[in-house]
Structure 1
C-alpha cells in the first residue's frame, strides 16, 4: 500500500501513541509488514525486509508486533473495515439489492482458544459467517465461533451487525433479498430477516422438518440462489490468497480475527488500491 493510500484509508483510524520514544519504523512501514505477513503466510521473523536510508537491513522489532496487537485491542481494524464499506457506499459501488451469506472454516493444527472439532469438515478449527453484496464486497463484520458450533444461530448475530453498520454508513436495506443455503433454513432465521424489512431467499432443507409444512410455500428463487457461486464463494476464494488465513497459526483468536478482518478490508479496497 502506497503512502497516499495509507494516509487516505488507514492512518485516520489507527491509534497513535502519546508517550515513550519515537518508533524506528513508521506506521506505514509497520502496516505494510503486517500486509506482507498476511499475504505470504510466513513467520514475523522470516519476513523479507528492506533497507534503511543507510543501506542497512531493517529489523522487525518487538515494537512492530506490539503495534499490531495494540491496533487490534483498540478496534482499529474494525474501524478501517467500516470505513471501507462507507467509502464504497459513498462512491455508489455497493449493490445491496441482493445480499449473499455463507460460512467458512479455518483449520488450526497448532491449537489455540475458541476452537472446536467439525465433524462435517473433519478438522479442528474455527468458523466465520460473512455477508457480501452482488459485487463481492463484504458489507458486514463477520461472526466467529468454534468449529463445532452450528452456523444457523450465528446468522442472527451477523444480521444484527449488518443492521448496525448499515445504520452507521446510511445504507438502506429495506426490501433487500438475503440469499442463503439450506444450513440457515429455520423459522427463527426467516423471522429475523423479516423483522429487519428484508426478504429471505433460503434453500429449503428437507432434513429440518419431520412433516410437510402446511400453507403457502416460502419464497425461493433458484436464479438468485445461483448467484452465490460468483459472489460469496468468490469472496472466500479471494480470502484464500491470504496465505496466513489458510491455516490458523495464531493461538489467540482475536489476532487471527484481526487478520481476517484486514483481509476483507483489502478485498473491499481493491477498487482503490492498485500498488
Structure 2
C-alpha cells in the first residue's frame, strides 16, 4: 500500500530534526505538553498537498489544530529552517555529483491570487491581482532558489536577486559553490544591462532575444524548469495563493522546493 505523501519519512525527519529550534521549557507554569514537531509537520504537509483550509484540518489524524500547524510553519520559516534544510539537501546532491553546475535555468510564471502582500495587477491579464514564483534550477531541474513577488514585477528585475539567492553549496572539496557556468532564460529576460551584470558574475548568459524567430534551441535546455514548475504546482496549496501573509506562502514555497530536492536525492542516491 502506497504511503500518504503527508507522512513524514525517516529520511526527511533525520535531516530536519537537528535544524528545528528548541523550545524553552517552562518549569513553574508548564501548561499543556506541546504536540510533537513530527506530527505537526505531517499536518503542514497535509495542507500543502491537499490545499485544505487550516481550520478544516482533520484533527482525528493526529495533526493537532490548524492554528498550531500554522504557528509552527511561521516560526520555523522565521528561524530559517527551510533554507538550512535546502542547503543540507543540495550539499548531499553535490557530494554525489548530481548537481549540474554547467548551466542554470530561470523562469517566473504568474500565479493567480485571492489576496495578500506581494501581489500586484498583472499587465497581461486585465489587471487582475497576482503573484509570481521566480525560480532558478540547475541543469537537471533541481531547485536552487525561489522568490515571491507581485504579478506586476518584470521577470528580468528578479534575475540578479535569484542568482544572489543561491546558497553556498558544500559537499565537495574546496570552497562552497554558488555560481553556475551559464544561464538560460527566455525572452522575458532580454536586457543587455542584465546580460552584462550576469557576465560580471562570471556566468555566460544564453537569453532569448525579442523579435527573433522561434527555434533558437534554448528549449532543449529550458524544459527542465517547466517540469520543475509542474512538480512545484503539483502541491495544491501553491496553485492558487490563499495566504494573505507573504511569509506563509514563501514558507510553503521553500518547503515544496525541499521536498522536490529530497525526491531527487532519493531517486539517485539513497532510498527513502
Alignment of 1:14-33 (within 5 A): 14-20=20-26, 21=30, 23-33=33-43
User: Does structure 1 retain, via aligned residues, the 8 Å contact 2:91–2:170?
Assistant: no
- Normalising by the residue count of structure 1, what TM-score does the alignment of the two structures yield? 0.82
User: Does structure 2 retain, via aligned residues, the 8 Å contact 1:129–1:158?
Assistant: yes
Q: RMSD across aligned C-alpha pairs, in angstroms?
A: 2.5
User: Does structure 1 retain, via aligned residues, the 8 Å contact 2:54–2:66?
Assistant: no
**Cα offsets for 1:239-265 (capped at 9, x unmatched):** 121000111111001100110111111
Other structure's SS at 2:168 match: helix
Deviation at 1:167, TM superposition (A): 7.6
Corresponding residue for residue 73 of structure 1: 78
Match for residue 5 of structure 1 among 11, 17, 23: 11
Segments of structure 2 that go 5 or more residues without pairing to the other structure are 1-6
Other structure's SS at 1:10 match: helix
User: Does structure 2 retain, via aligned residues, the 8 Å contact 1:89–1:171?
Assistant: no
Aligned partners of 1:116, 1:51: CA distance in 2, in Å?
A: 37
Aligned partners of 1:188, 1:177: CA distance in 2, in Å?
A: 17
User: Does structure 2 retain, via aligned residues, the 8 Å contact 1:77–1:258?
Assistant: yes
Other structure's SS at 2:184 match: strand
User: Does structure 1 retain, via aligned residues, the 8 Å contact 2:47–2:237?
Assistant: yes
User: Does structure 1 retain, via aligned residues, the 8 Å contact 2:8–2:41?
Assistant: no
* 4 and 262 in structure 1: CA distance in 2 versus 1, 3 angstrom threshold: same
Other structure's SS at 1:83 match: helix
User: Does structure 2 retain, via aligned residues, the 8 Å contact 1:40–1:244?
Assistant: yes
| Aligned length, in residue pairs | 252
* 61 and 34 in structure 1: CA distance in 2 versus 1, 3 angstrom threshold: closer
**Cα offsets for 1:105-148 (capped at 9, x unmatched):** 22112x11121011214431111211111221011x22222111
Segments of structure 1 that go 5 or more residues without pairing to the other structure are 53-57, 208-220
Corresponding residue for residue 216 of structure 1: none
1:239 matched to 2:232? The reply is: yes
Aligned partners of 1:3, 1:133: CA distance in 2, in Å?
A: 25
User: Does structure 2 retain, via aligned residues, the 8 Å contact 1:130–1:158?
Assistant: yes
Aligned partners of 1:12, 1:271: CA distance in 2, in Å?
A: 21
Corresponding residue for residue 100 of structure 1: 105
Alignment of 1:95-134 (within 5 A): 95-109=100-114, 111-122=115-126, 123-134=128-139
Corresponding residue for residue 94 of structure 2: 89
Deviation at 1:179, TM superposition (A): 0.5
- Normalising by the residue count of structure 2, what TM-score does the alignment of the two structures yield? 0.83
Other structure's SS at 1:127 match: strand
Deviation at 1:73, TM superposition (A): 1.4
Match for residue 144 of structure 1 among 120, 124, 148: 148
* 6 and 227 in structure 1: CA distance in 2 versus 1, 3 angstrom threshold: closer
Deviation at 1:71, TM superposition (A): 0.7
Aligned partners of 2:220, 2:35: CA distance in 1, in Å?
A: 47
Deviation at 1:224, TM superposition (A): 4.2
Name the stretch that deviates more: 12-21 or 259-268. Answer: 12-21
Aligned partners of 1:95, 1:132: CA distance in 2, in Å?
A: 9
Name the stretch that deviates more: 40-49 or 91-100. Answer: 40-49
